């Protein structure tokens, strides 16, 4: 298999994985739907930077070293599971608050600046949230170790490996940014606002379930 074929296979498998519902997907849906396009795209950038770091660590062997060190991997699992659980609880609390306040006028009807200010104030927070969600996900670490060790041979040239890292980052950013862009279309936004409690509840349950499973599995094997 030549390098072009290897890269094409790598990108195809990665795109399929990106399209599978998970914490990254849910984070974009929840935040783009609630805070708007700019926040959604910053979340996408943060997620893609997390994937970029995972790719670099996997190709350099650092991720494999972490996985082979029980203490380090357990710490990562504990941090990742706790963070996802925290996100889930936060989303469920947000659902409850939204249901209590649903009769109040939305921020854009109270002067038109509240939502914009919140979006602008949260750009850096959105970037960090996306990055943290991806980099602390122990399943992502295992996935990239498996993906890159299987599809990227040790004999691949440095240029090929750099291209692999770049393509993984680019496809990740384009996918999540496109998702954020589509979710913030004017017509869809009107529908999303109506379904905000359901979206928050679904994402919250997903985050909390995955986080609890990671922590539960860690507790069983400790």
Percent of the chain, pLDDT > 90?
A: 32
Q: 156 is in which domain, residue-wise?
A: 3-9+24-220
Residue 19 lies in a domain: no
> Would 163 be classed as within a structural domain?
yes
18 part of a folded domain: no
**Residues 137 and 23: beta-carbon distance below 8 Å:** yes
14 assigned to some structural domain: no
Question: Considering the domain boundaries, does residue 160 fall inside one?
Answer: yes
Residue 17 lies in a domain: no
Number of domains in the chain: 1
What pLDDT is stored for residue 164 in this prediction? Answer: 93
Per-residue pLDDT, 8: 93
At 167 the pLDDT is 95
Q: What was the pLDDT predicted at 115?
A: 47
Report the alpha-carbon distance of residue 55 to residue 61 in Å, rounded.
Answer: 10
Residues of the chain with pLDDT under 70: 1, 98-99, 101-121, 189-194, 196, 222
């Amino acid at each position: 298999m030549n390098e072009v074929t290897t890269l094409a296979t790598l990108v195809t498998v990665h795109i399929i994985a990106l399209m599978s519902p998970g914490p990254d997907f849910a984070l974009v849906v929840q935040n783009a739907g609630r805070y708007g396009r700019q926040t959604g795209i910053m979340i996408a950038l943060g997620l893609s930077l997390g994937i970029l770091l995972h790719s670099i660590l996997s190709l350099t062997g650092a991720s494999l070293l972490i996985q082979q060190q029980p203490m380090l991997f357990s710490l990562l699992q504990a941090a990742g599971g706790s963070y996802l659980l925290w996100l889930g609880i936060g989303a469920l609390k947000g659902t409850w608050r939204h249901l209590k306040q649903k009769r109040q006028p939305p921020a854009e009807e109270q002067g038109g600046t509240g939502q914009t200010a919140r979006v602008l104030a949260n750009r850096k927070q959105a970037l960090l949230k996306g990055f943290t969600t991806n980099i602390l996900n122990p399943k992502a670490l295992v996935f990239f170790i498996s993906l890159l060790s299987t599809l990227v041979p040790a004999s691949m040239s440095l240029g090929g490996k750099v291209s692999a890292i770049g393509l993984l980052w680019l496809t990740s950013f384009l996918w999540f940014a496109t998702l954020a862009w589509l979710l913030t279309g004017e017509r869809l936004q009107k529908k999303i606002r109506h379904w905000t409690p359901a979206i928050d509840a679904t994402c919250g349950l997903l985050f909390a379930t995955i986080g609890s499973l990671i922590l539960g599995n860690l507790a069983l094997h400790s």
